[in-house]
């Protein structure tokens, strides 16, 4: 299968130049809003460039969008009807080549005017342009729908031929596709987008070359945007800062880092990885707790919690995996096999719950590689953008249990025979047990259509990220691992997993001997406030935010630091799904 080439550098440069010109023309109106149009224009209106009075009725300026058979006022009020395809074509033909006052007004709104045209028209039509900018998009408005239909047609025209695509312009999402979290109601289409925003996108699709538009349309598919993190650790015990609830006689395992070190270095790692990968950390939580309970039990986050989550977008068509079928290829995508994450969380918990007090299990510790994570993501994204030729029919992230778990889940209901020599080894001394159980990061398992395997391998070669074909899906419900010497290291009957008795939970309520809240005698408000503000859960989170960039990718609309002097006070984080969002 041929992989379509990306736009030439000269074409990219041409688009960038056009984009900068557009931004330069629009910046005054965009930054100042409608106030930019309300100010006095020093240049007097010219009679040669515009002869329409300043109070021209709005409906008289929309004949090209509404058509002669439809009242133009529907652009504002709406009639709830969707025009037919033939009506769309007729109206497009009638509008071709006609330079009405409405066209010249749109030249201003869409950043395409010459200065000799712009100033007089802004002067005479400023109230009309302001009104145009304030009109919300209405999915039930027939004229709005017509504009959206034409816009969607322009986009899909460059994606495939008219013979093999069925246009459904009444159901497109915020980025010309239906996104996974979009409501089934058509009212969610272009929710929050004004008619002017739609006109801007419509004009954009008509002005740039098809191959550049195709490349930009594909940017709207599967894409991570930002991440959220959380840290739970014990009492900080900061030297020189003794807090009333801390007890410096408490013992901490030497196999675990001190809570203060975790608070600093865990956030360093999360932010560093996120920024390198392209998922800046823009929200989260931090909790510190350590206390001796009434029954004498010590309750503390000795083993810390490092929570992380990603926020992104995905096309609706890519949300569900396809059924597993015989003869599909089972592949591993991503970094090579290392002795990393062997035993996962269970192994790292032994140092807390078991008898390995002074031992560090380095094999159980994860080691992130943001560069490899980016390569893996670009492969998955490129495959999603090949729709309907996506070679990936199902994909699972490798987590706890390593290959022994992810491959079993991937071929559920079927079987596979895996050969160890088909894996790419980063460390040749890795044993079969480690290969089968290690949770090495930046690696996915996927099912691939055998007819599209060449496309996947071509993409992986471009991204310099290895793809290993480790086996074929079989009708048998057995997962086997064959060593390089031919020995059968694993022979798992997956049917047995479904026959296991379900785990039962016996729930009961344990009464707690709680006491009434009693404030210490003589406690002053200032002292109480000082204690509360020193709790890491309440105190300033500057130590988590001000040391890193929180706006990587240029899509972050609001991050944590919204207070004076970049004080992190935000209770909400906002990210745009694309650079075209308004």
Residue-level pLDDT at 13:
60
329 with 272, same domain: the answer is: no
Residue-level pLDDT at 384:
84
For residue 390, being part of any structural domain is answered with: yes
Residue-level pLDDT at 17:
60
pLDDT at position 466 over 80: yes
Q: Please, are residues 186 and 95 in contact by the beta-carbon 8 Å criterion?
A: no
pLDDT at position 529 over 90: yes
For residue 506, being part of any structural domain is answered with: no
Does residue 475 or residue 117 have the better pLDDT? 475
- Nearest partner of 246 among 287, 292, 285, 286, judged by Cα: 292
CA–CA separation, 88 vs 75, rounded Å? 15
Q: How confident is the model at residue 350 (pLDDT cuts 50, 70, 90)?
A: low
Q: Please, are residues 233 and 259 in contact by the beta-carbon 8 Å criterion?
A: yes
Mean pLDDT of the 447-460 span: 92
Does residue 456 or residue 319 have the better pLDDT? 456
For residue 507, being part of any structural domain is answered with: no
CA–CA separation, 103 vs 107, rounded Å? 6
Residue-level pLDDT at 138:
59
For residue 267, being part of any structural domain is answered with: yes
CA–CA separation, 70 vs 60, rounded Å? 12
CA–CA separation, 190 vs 197, rounded Å? 10
Domain stop point among 486, 511, 544: 486
Mean pLDDT of the 127-155 span: 56
458 with 561, same domain: the answer is: no
Tell me the residue range of the domain where 338 lies.
315-486
Residues 6+ apart with CB under 8 A from 418: 330, 403, 407, 470, 471, 479, 480, 481, 482
Q: How confident is the model at residue 59 (pLDDT cuts 50, 70, 90)?
A: very low
391 with 433, same domain: the answer is: yes
pLDDT at position 297 over 90: no
Buried b (16+ CB within 10 A) or exposed e, 285-322: ebebbbeeeeeeeeebbbbbeeebeeeebbbeebeeee
pLDDT at position 89 over 70: no
Lowest mean pLDDT among 94-98, 217-221, 563-567: 94-98
Residue-level pLDDT at 96:
36
CA–CA separation, 582 vs 580, rounded Å? 7
Residue-level pLDDT at 129:
56
CA distances from 105 to 52, 102, 203, 207, 515 (A): 11, 5, 13, 17, 72
* Residue labelled with tokens 């390198």: 276
pLDDT digits (tens, 9 = 90+) for 204-239: 554 445 544 444 444 445 567 888 999 999 999 888
Residue-level pLDDT at 369:
83
Does residue 498 or residue 376 have the better pLDDT? 376
Supply 480's token pair: 């086997």
Lowest mean pLDDT among 72-76, 247-251, 274-278: 72-76
pTM score, two decimals?
0.61
Instruction: Look at residue 406 and give its three-state secondary structure.
Output: helix
* Residue labelled with tokens 């790692």: 269
289 with 326, same domain: the answer is: no
DSSP-assigned letters across all residues of 259-309:
HHHHHHHHHHHHHHHHHHHT--EEEEEEEE-EEE-TTS-EEE-SS-EEEEE
Lowest mean pLDDT among 176-185, 359-368, 393-402, 485-494: 176-185
353 with 414, same domain: the answer is: yes
Q: Please, are residues 418 and 332 in contact by the beta-carbon 8 Å criterion?
A: no
pLDDT digits (tens, 9 = 90+) for 267-289: 998 888 888 888 899 999 999 99
pLDDT digits (tens, 9 = 90+) for 416-453: 999 999 999 988 888 898 899 888 888 899 999 999 99
Domain stop point among 431, 458, 486: 486
For residue 494, being part of any structural domain is answered with: no
Q: Report how far Cα 8 is from the mean position of its chain's Cα atoms.
A: 27
Relative to beta strand 329-334, strand 290-292 is unpaired
The pLDDT mean for the chain works out to 70
Question: What share of the chain in percent tops pLDDT 90?
Answer: 16
Q: What CATH number did the domain enclosing 391 receive?
A: 3.90.650.10
Residue-level pLDDT at 36:
39
* Residue labelled with tokens 């308004």: 582
CA–CA separation, 411 vs 395, rounded Å? 11
91 with 112, same domain: the answer is: yes
Number of compact structural domains in the chain? 3
CB neighbour class for 4 (10 Å; exposed up to 12, middle 13-18, buried from 19): exposed
* Highest mean pLDDT, choosing among 19-28, 39-48, 202-211, 263-272: 263-272
369 with 335, same domain: the answer is: yes
Q: How confident is the model at residue 472 (pLDDT cuts 50, 70, 90)?
A: very high
* Residue labelled with tokens 């950390």: 281
Mean pLDDT of the 476-491 span: 89
403 with 536, same domain: the answer is: no
395 with 414, same domain: the answer is: yes
pLDDT at position 303 over 90: no
For residue 338, being part of any structural domain is answered with: yes
Q: Please, are residues 575 and 217 in contact by the beta-carbon 8 Å criterion?
A: no
Q: Report how far Cα 313 is from the mean position of its chain's Cα atoms.
A: 4
Q: How confident is the model at residue 257 (pLDDT cuts 50, 70, 90)?
A: confident
For residue 115, being part of any structural domain is answered with: yes
248 with 302, same domain: the answer is: yes
CA distances from 169 to 153, 159, 196, 241, 330 (A): 8, 15, 18, 63, 37
pLDDT at position 84 over 90: no
170 with 206, same domain: the answer is: yes
Q: How confident is the model at residue 578 (pLDDT cuts 50, 70, 90)?
A: confident
CA–CA separation, 398 vs 423, rounded Å? 14
Residue-level pLDDT at 515:
79
pLDDT at position 3 over 70: no
Supply 109's token pair: 């709104």
pLDDT digits (tens, 9 = 90+) for 390-424: 899 999 888 888 888 899 989 988 999 999 999 99
For residue 2, being part of any structural domain is answered with: no
pLDDT digits (tens, 9 = 90+) for 316-339: 677 788 889 899 999 999 989 888
287 with 200, same domain: the answer is: no
pLDDT at position 165 over 70: no
């Amino acid at each position: 299968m041929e992989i379509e080439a990306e736009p030439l550098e000269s074409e990219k440069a041409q688009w960038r130049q056009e984009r900068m010109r557009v931004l330069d023309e629009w910046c005054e109106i965009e930054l100042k809003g409608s106030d930019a149009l309300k100010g006095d224009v020093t240049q007097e209106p010219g009679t040669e460039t515009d002869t329409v009075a300043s109070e021209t009725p709005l409906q008289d300026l929309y004949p090209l969008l509404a058509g002669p058979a439809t009242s133009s006022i529907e652009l504002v009020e709406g009639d709830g009807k969707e025009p037919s395809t033939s009506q769309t074509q007729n109206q497009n033909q009638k509008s071709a080549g006609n330079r009405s006052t409405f066209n010249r007004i749109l030249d201003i709104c869409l950043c395409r005017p010459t200065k000799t045209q712009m100033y007089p028209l802004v002067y005479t039509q400023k109230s009309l342009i302001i009104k145009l900018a304030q009109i919300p998009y209405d999915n039930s408005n027939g004229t709005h729908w017509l504009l959206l239909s034409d816009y969607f047609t322009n986009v899909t025209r460059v994606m495939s031929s008219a013979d093999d695509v069925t246009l459904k312009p009444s159901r497109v999402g915020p980025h010309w596709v239906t996104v996974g979290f979009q409501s089934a109601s058509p009212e969610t289409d272009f929710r929050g987008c004004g008619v002017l925003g739609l006109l801007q996108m419509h004009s954009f699709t008509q002005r740039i070359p098809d191959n550049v538009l195709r490349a930009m349309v594909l940017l709207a598919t599967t894409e991570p945007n930002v991440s959220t993190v959380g840290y739970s650790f014990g009492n900080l015990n900061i030297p020189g800062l003794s807090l009333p609830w801390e007890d410096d006689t408490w013992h901490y395992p030497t196999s675990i880092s001190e809570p203060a070190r975790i608070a600093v270095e865990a956030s360093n790692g999360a932010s560093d990885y996120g920024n390198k990968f392209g998922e800046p950390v823009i929200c989260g939580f931090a909790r510190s707790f350590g206390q001796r309970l009434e029954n004498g039990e010590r309750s503390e986050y000795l083993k810390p919690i490092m929570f992380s989550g990603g926020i992104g977008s995905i096309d609706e068509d890519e949300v569900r995996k396809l059924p597993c079928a015989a003869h599909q290829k089972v592949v591993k995508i991503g970094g090579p096999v290392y002795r990393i994450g062997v035993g996962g969380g269970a192994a790292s918990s032994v140092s807390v719950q078991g008898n390995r007090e002074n031992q560090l299990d380095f094999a159980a510790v994860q080691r992130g590689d943001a560069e490899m994570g980016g390569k893996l993501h670009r492969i998955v994204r490129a495959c999603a953008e090949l729709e309907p030729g996506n070679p990936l029919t199902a994909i699972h992230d490798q987590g706890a249990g390593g290959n022994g778990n992810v491959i079993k889940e991937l071929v559920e209901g079927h079987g596979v025979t895996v050969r160890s020599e088909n894996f790419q080894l980063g460390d040749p001394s890795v044993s079969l047990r480690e290969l089968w159980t290690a949770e090495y990061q930046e690696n996915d398992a996927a099912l691939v259509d055998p007819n599209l395997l060449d496309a996947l391998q071509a993409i992986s070669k471009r991204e310099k990220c290895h793809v290993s074909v480790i086996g074929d899906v079989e009708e048998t419900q057995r997962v086997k691992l064959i060593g390089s010497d031919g020995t059968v290291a694993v022979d798992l009957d997956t049917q047995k997993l479904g026959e296991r008795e379900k785990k039962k939970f016996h729930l009961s309520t344990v009464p707690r001997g709680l006491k009434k809240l009693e404030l210490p005698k003589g406690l002053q408000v200032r002292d109480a406030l000082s204690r509360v503000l020193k709790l890491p859960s309440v105190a300033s989170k500057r130590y988590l935010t001000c040391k890193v960039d929180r706006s990587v990718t240029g899509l972050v609309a609001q991050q944590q630091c919204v207070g004076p002097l970049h004080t992190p006070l935000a209770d909400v984080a906002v990210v745009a799904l694309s650079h075209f969002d308004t």
